[in-house]
Structure 1
Amino acid sequence: MNEHGPKALRLSLLTRWSALVGTLTATGILIALGLDQLLPNHPSIVVGISLLCLVPLAVITIRAQLQRQLSLYRALTGTVSSYQDGDFSFSLHWPHNDELSDLVAAHNALGEVLREQRLGLVQRELLLDTMVQHTPVAMLLVADGGAIVFANTAARQLLHAGRKLEGLHLADLLARVQPALREAMDRGGDGLFTIGDSEEEDVFHLARRSFSLNGRPHELVLLRQLTQELRRQEVQTWKKVIRVISHELNNSLAPLTSLAHSGAELVRRGQTERLPQILATIEERTRHLESFILGYARFAKLPTPRLDPQHWRTFLAALSDQVQFTLLGEVPDEPHAFDPAQMEQALLNLLKNAHESGSPPEQVALEVRRVQGMLRIEVQDRGPGMSETVLANALVPFYSTKRSGTGLGLALAREIAEAHGGRITLANREGGGLAVTMILPLA
Structure 2
Amino acid sequence: MTPSPQGPVTGKPRTSNPRALRWMWVVGSVVVMALGLILLLLLTQSTNNRELYERNYARLFAVNVVVAAILLAVILWMAVRLLVRLRRGKFGSRLLVKLATIFALVGLAPGLLIYVVSYQFVSRSIETWFDVKVEGALDAGVNLGRTTLDILANSLADKTRSASNQLADIPDAAAGLTLEHIRDQLDANDVVLWSSTGQLIASVGQSRFLLNPERPSPQQLRNVRSQRAVAAVEGLDDTASPAEATAHIKALALVSSKGLGLLAEPRFLQVVQALPPALVANAMAVQIANREYQERALARSGLKRMYIGTLTLSLFLAVFGAVLLAVLLGNQLARPLLLLADGVRQVAAGDLTPKAVLLGRDELGGLTRSFANMTQQLADARSAVDQSMAQVSAARANLQTILDNLTAGVIVLDAQGLIQSSNPGATRILREPLAAFEGRSLGDIVGLQDFAQRVQAQFDIFLSEQTHHGLDHWQQSFELNATASPFSQNAIILVARGAELPGSNRLLVFDDISEIVSAQRAQAWGEVARRLAHEIKNPLTPIQLSAERLEMKLLNKVGEPEQALLKKSVKTIVDQVDAMKRLVNEFRDYARLPAAELKPLDLNLLVQDVLHLYDSDTTAVNVVSELDAECPMILGDAQQLRQVIHNLLQNAQDATEAAHAAGSIPEVTLRTQWIASAQRVRLVVRDQGTGFPENILKRAFEPYVTTKSRGTGLGLAVVKKIADEHGARIDLSNRLNNGVVEGAQVSLSFAIHQSVVG
TM-score, reference length from structure 1: 0.44
Greater C-alpha Rg: 2
Structure number with greater CO (CA < 8 Å, separation at least 6) is 2
